[in-house]
Amino acid sequence: MRNRLKEIRIKHNLTQNQLAVSLEVSRQTIISIEKGRYIPSLPLAMKISKHFHSKIEDIFFEEEFDYEME
């Protein structure tokens, strides 16, 4: 799963720490999500999407794969 959290956070002029405090998570959680090392729980993903007034799928999405047709 990929995400646009860092891009959106920067667009809103927020530091990782400011976002973490607002979401009541650690700064390390924000770092891990942004780097793709941690996939947030559904409640946290919903909290993030509400914070940015966005749909979850506008922030989090599956990587597109190139499937060969057989």
Burial class from Cβ neighbours inside 10 Å (0-12, 13-18, 19+) for residue 19 reads: buried
pLDDT tens digits, residue range 34-70? 999 999 999 999 999 999 999 999 999 987 654 454 4
CATH code, residues 2-61 = 1.10.260.40
Are 6 and 34 in contact by the 8 Å Cβ rule? The answer is yes
According to the model, what pLDDT value does residue 2 have?
95
The 10s digit of each residue's pLDDT in 15-24 is 999 999 999 9
Q: Given this model, what pLDDT does residue 70 score? A: 47
Task: Give domain limits for the chain.
Answer: 2-61
Q: What pLDDT score does 49 carry?
A: 98
**Which pTM was predicted?**
0.85
